[in-house]
Amino acid sequence: MKTRKQNLTGKQKPGKKNIKQPLKHSFDQKAAMRLNKYIANAGVCSRREADELIRKGEIKINGETVTELGTKVAHGDTVTYGNKKLSHEQKVYVLLNKPKDYITTADDPQQRKTVLDLIGNTIRERLYPVGRLDRNTTGLLLLTNDGDLAKKLSHPKHGVRKLYHVHLDKPVSKADLQNIEKGVAIDDKMVRPDRIEYANPDNKREIGIELHSGQNRVVRRIFEQYGYKVTKLDRVIFAGLTKKDLPRGKWRRLTQKEVNYLRMIS
């Protein structure tokens, strides 16, 4: 496999004496960007994961395989991963209030409605959901092409706050509420809500539960273990973002202040 190695200045390392290897591009140092950041900005993965792709020789610049970390990409370079040409896009951050019956995915082979259908062609950049909400769950969903931030916000270790309003088929007993608060085993892992309480003191079928677990259908599965069926599930807070002035099925771009806050907590 043909490889090319560069040092941090973008100059090719010397090989045999009296043999000069021509570079296929030259760098404008002010415009150059580290390759792992370029890959993350393209929405492929986080920077750390991008380093692994580079080490494994899965990234090419202008047709040449690159394996050295610290390689930089200049304006006009073509970066490819597999057969896909990567695009260094402007970062876009969208908050969506998801309705029922929409799939939280970029594409669906069954041609069902996806959350991206709600955005349409208004935004040209390709967005990806941060985490998932199942088809029947409503509420806040963040979409972005910032792979680095998306990865961090999805990881439980960062403790991203997620608050759900849960409607159940019957009143929840105080004892069950206390047991859930102590922790519930899901997929051999103990899930402990950060907070759980009655959302409406006069209606014990409605529960507010805050947690940072990212497991699939975790809220529904918690209550199912105690014999309750979730009839309605709505995410009302995600990473400090709320549904204020955002009707169901609508979306908006995040403000720079909100983006800076997300970067800070992650």
Q: Annotated catalytic residue: which of 134, 146, 234, 245?
A: 134
N residues, the chain: 266
Residues of the chain with pLDDT under 70: 1-31, 43, 266
Is 3-85's fold the same as 161-238's?
no
Q: Which CATH architecture has domain 93-156+242-265?
A: 2-Layer Sandwich (3.30)
Cβ-proximal residues to 84 (8 Å cutoff; 6+ apart), any chain: none
pTM for the model: 0.70
The pLDDT, as a whole number, for residue 23 is 41
**Known catalytic residue at 188:** no
Taking a C-beta distance cutoff of 8 angstroms, is the pair 72, 27 a contact? yes
Reported as half-sphere exposure (CB side, CA atoms, 13 A), residue 35 has a value of 32
Class of 161-238 per CATH?
alpha beta
The pLDDT, as a whole number, for residue 85 is 86
The pLDDT, as a whole number, for residue 201 is 86
Q: Which CATH architecture has domain 3-85?
A: Roll (3.10)
pLDDT tens readout for residues 219-238: 999 999 999 999 999 999 99
Domain definitions of the chain by residue range? 3-85, 93-156+242-265, 161-238
The pLDDT, as a whole number, for residue 266 is 66
